[in-house]
Structure 1
C-alpha cells in the first residue's frame, strides 16, 4: 500500500552488541505557558525537545519517546505519511483527525512550517499533547508523573479503537523503559536514558491486546484488530495466488488505526511491528483488502512498520516474523515460494508506489520464507563464550583482533554504514558505538575472509 526503505544485507557486515547502561531519569516539570516560537538561535534537536517540553509542561523524555515511536525522529523532508501525518511528531491532517491544524491554532505557527520545520513540529506535538492532557484533567502534579500521561499518549497516536490506542501507548512506554539513542540527520545524538515507568492506563487498563483473547482466526500468532468495513470488500473474486510486501509509511499502531478510519479507503490483511515482529490482522484472508489495486482480488497484503527513507525500522525480528507469516500463507494457499508470487508493492502492475524499496533484503527474506538458511547473512550467530573482539585503532579497518575473555559475542549482519538495531538502540556507523570494559561493542567483518579460525562468518 505504501513505500519504505529497509536495510539490505550486503556482502560486508556490520556487527553490533550493546551493553545497556543503568541510568536514572529525572522528571520534567515546568509551568504551563503560551507556546513561544521555536528557538531560532540553534538547530539542535535536543534543544527543540527541551524547549517544547518546558513551554507546554510535557515530560521531555516522553515527548522524545512519542516522536521516536512515530518517525525515529525523521521529518521525511515534509512528506506526508500514509494517513497524511507530517514531521517528527506526526501531526495529522485528514478528514477524521486534525492535530496539524490544532497545533497551528495553539502555537500560532503556520501549517506549512509545522509540516517542514522540525522545531516547529516538535512544539506543535507538545502543544497537542498538553491540550489532550488538559482535556483529561491532568493537573500540574499529574503532569510531573510520566506514567499519568498514558491515556493522553493513547489518544494522541491512535484514536481508532481502544485496542489500537493501547498498542500505541504501550510501545511508547516500552521505549521509555528501554531508552532511546537516535542520531539525527545532522549527526546529533538524542538520548533518553532507560527507566521503567509504571503506566497509569486508566480507561485502557482492561483493554486487551494479548493473543488468546484477541487472536486472529486465520493466523493464531497474530492479534485481531479489524479494519473499518468500508475499507475492504467482503469475499473474494479470485483464488489467492500472491503475497504482496508493503511498508506502512507510518507506525504500527497508527497504521492499524488508519485502517479503522472511514476516510482511509485502504487496508491490508496484516501489519508487522518493527521492534519485536508482533503481527496484527486487520482484514480476514477470505476478504479483499484494498492495498495493491490490480492485485487486490488474488493477493494477501502484508504491511511492515516503517518508512522508505529510514532503514532503521527493518529489524531481524520483523524479517523473521513476517517470513513465518508468509510461509503460513504459501502453505495454506499453495503459493510457490518464489519472487514471481511473493512480490513488492512496487512490482504489482498498475501501482505507483516504491515500497518495500531498495533496502529491503529480498535475498535474506526469501531464504527465511523458504527455510533454507541461505541468503546473504545469518543474523545473530553466537561465537562462543571464550571469544571477545576489539576493534583496531583505525575506524575504517575491515578487521579486528581476537582477545581472550568471557563474553559471548552476538553478531548481526548489516550493510556497512547502515543503521544497526539492537536492544532498542540504533546507530548508523559501527565506529560510533561505545567500548565497554575494554571490549568494543561492535565488529566489522568481511564475509569472504575467514580471518578468525573456527568462527562462522556472516
Structure 2
C-alpha cells in the first residue's frame, strides 16, 4: 500500500548507523552473550496497552496504531517533539493543544510522569481518545467498531484544518490495514494483525487531504495544505539560492497541522512523508517560510517526517522523493548541486538545531540529487518487519537493535539455506553488514523470521 507508514527502505550505511546509535546509548558494545533485560511486568508496553484499552474502552489496536503513527512507539527519552509532544502517544502541550494536561486531569498522573513513563503516557493517550469519543457521541456499540473511531483519531492528531486531520486519520487506518510488528526499547515485541477496516469518516467524508486545487502548488506532484498566514512572511527578501534540509521531529500530518496552528510561528515550504515520499507544500516558494532563521530570505525549506535519533524514518522512498524535489528546485532557481547550497538546518548560521542529524545519509542524498549512476544500484530484496540486529550470528547473542521493516539494505547476503561465512562464523540465516565509511562493521542481521524465499543473492 502506497501510504502505509510501515513501508520503508533503509540503506546499509543508515542501518549500520542505527546499530551504532543503539550501541552508543549504552556507551559500549553489548556483550555478545548477554541476555536482554526483561521488561518489568508493571511497565511492559504490551501490558500497558492492554490495561489502558480495557480501562477506557478504546480498541487496543487503534491505541497502538495511533502511537505508532505518531512516534513508532518511541518515547524519545522524554524529549519533546517539534510541537512539544511527549512519549509514545505524543501527548502535546502548546498554546493550541493541551492533550498532555488533559491526560493529567483524566488519569491523575502528573505531567512529569506522562512525559517520562511509557505506561502512564499510554494510559494518558487512551484517556484522551475516550474523552474525544464521548464528545463525538460514540456509545458502547460504536466503540466496539474500529471504523467508528475515525473522527476521534482525526481530532487526536491534528489541531489545524480538517484536511490535515483527515490526512492524519487516514494514516492511522493505513497502519491498521498494514499491521504492525515492531520492537520497542528493551526488546519487547508489539504487534497488530493487519485487517481491512472501513473508516466511518462522518464529517470528514467530504474533506480532502488537499485543501486547495493542485494548481496552487509550485511542485507538480505535491499536495497543497497551506500553513497559517501568520506563520510565514509574504514575499521574498532576496533571490532563492539555498535548499535547507530539515527533520520534523514529529509525524507528517502532525507537522502539517502544526504549521496551521497560529501558535506555531514556524513553517516550511514542503514536507516529505517517510513511508512513500509523498510531498505536501505548505508555503508558496515566492513567500518566506520561517524555518531556518538567517537563511529564511534566500532558501526553500524541506521538512522530512521523522526524528533525528531514529534512522528508520529515513526510507529510500523519502530520499528519492526529496532528492527529486531538490533537483527540481536547483533546476528552477539555478542553484548549484553541492553541499554549499544544499545544507542541513544545523549548518545554517545562527541556528541551534541538530537536524537532519548524524543518521541522514548526505552522500547518498547528494548522489540522488545529482543523478549519479551509483545511486541506482540494486538493493537487497525487501524483508518483512521486525528484523533483529545482533553482534554475531548466534541466536544466543544479545540483540543490540532492530529494524522495523519492511527493510532493504545492501549487504553480503544469501538465499535461504545458503551459508554466510565471515570471520569464522557460518550460518544459513544471517546477513552481514560490512563497513561503510567508518560505521560499525561486525553486525549481523537475523532474517529467520522475515526471509523472502527464492530471492537471488546480491
Q: Does the pair score TM above 0.5?
A: yes
| Unmatched 5+ stretches in structure 1 | 1-5, 15-38, 384-391, 406-412, 419-427, 442-451
1:72 aligns with 2:75: no
- TM-score, with structure 1 as normaliser: 0.78
SS at match of 2:280: strand
8 Å contact kept, 2:41–2:47: no
1:335 CA drift (Å): 0.4
1:36: which partner in 2?
A: none
1:434 aligns with 2:449: yes
Deviations 1:78-104 (A, max 9, x none): 111111111000000111110000000
What is the alpha-carbon distance in structure 1 between the residues aligned to residue 188 and residue 270 of structure 2? 35
Q: Where in structure 2 are the equivalents of 1:52-451 lying within 5 Å?
A: 52-209=52-209, 213-214=213-214, 216-374=216-374, 378=377, 380=379, 394=394, 400-402=413-415, 430-431=445-446, 434=449, 439=453
1:440 CA drift (Å): 8.8
| Closer/same/farther in 2, CA of residues 120 and 305 from structure 1, 3 Å limit | same
What is the alpha-carbon distance in structure 2 between the residues aligned to residue 152 and residue 212 of structure 1? 24
| Closer/same/farther in 2, CA of residues 12 and 114 from structure 1, 3 Å limit | closer
1:446: which partner in 2?
A: none
What is the alpha-carbon distance in structure 2 between the residues aligned to residue 228 and residue 216 of structure 1? 15
8 Å contact kept, 2:210–2:225: no
Deviations 1:172-215 (A, max 9, x none): 00000000112111011101010010000001111112599446
| Closer/same/farther in 2, CA of residues 223 and 126 from structure 1, 3 Å limit | same
8 Å contact kept, 2:163–2:210: no
8 Å contact kept, 1:78–1:115: yes
1:311 CA drift (Å): 1.3
| Closer/same/farther in 2, CA of residues 176 and 402 from structure 1, 3 Å limit | closer
| Unmatched 5+ stretches in structure 2 | 1-8, 18-38, 383-391, 398-410, 419-430, 437-442
| Closer/same/farther in 2, CA of residues 393 and 312 from structure 1, 3 Å limit | closer
SS at match of 2:303: strand
Deviations 1:57-96 (A, max 9, x none): 0000000000000000000111111111110000001111
Deviations 1:269-326 (A, max 9, x none): 0000011111110100000000000100000000000011111111111111101100
| Closer/same/farther in 2, CA of residues 112 and 431 from structure 1, 3 Å limit | same
What is the alpha-carbon distance in structure 1 between the residues aligned to residue 265 and residue 148 of structure 2? 35
| Closer/same/farther in 2, CA of residues 318 and 114 from structure 1, 3 Å limit | same
What is the alpha-carbon distance in structure 2 between the residues aligned to residue 106 and residue 365 of structure 1? 45
1:44 CA drift (Å): 1.2
What is the alpha-carbon distance in structure 1 between the residues aligned to residue 322 and residue 454 of structure 2? 32
1:430 CA drift (Å): 2.3
Deviations 1:238-274 (A, max 9, x none): 0000000000000000000000111111000000001
8 Å contact kept, 1:216–1:222: no
Alignment size in residue pairs? 388
2:13: which partner in 1?
A: 10
CA RMSD of aligned residues (A): 3.1
What is the alpha-carbon distance in structure 2 between the residues aligned to residue 122 and residue 128 of structure 1? 10
| Closer/same/farther in 2, CA of residues 433 and 108 from structure 1, 3 Å limit | farther
1:346 CA drift (Å): 0.6
1:372 CA drift (Å): 1.2
Asked which structure has the greater RCO (Cα within 8 Å, sep 6+), the reply is 1
What is the alpha-carbon distance in structure 2 between the residues aligned to residue 316 and residue 414 of structure 1? 20
8 Å contact kept, 2:212–2:225: no
| Closer/same/farther in 2, CA of residues 229 and 211 from structure 1, 3 Å limit | closer
1:170 CA drift (Å): 0.3
Whose helix fraction is larger, Structure 1's or Structure 2's?
A: 2
8 Å contact kept, 1:69–1:172: yes
- TM-score, with structure 2 as normaliser: 0.78
8 Å contact kept, 2:100–2:111: yes
| Closer/same/farther in 2, CA of residues 294 and 11 from structure 1, 3 Å limit | closer
| Closer/same/farther in 2, CA of residues 211 and 378 from structure 1, 3 Å limit | farther
What is the alpha-carbon distance in structure 1 between the residues aligned to residue 165 and residue 261 of structure 2? 13
What is the alpha-carbon distance in structure 2 between the residues aligned to residue 399 and residue 75 of structure 1? 33
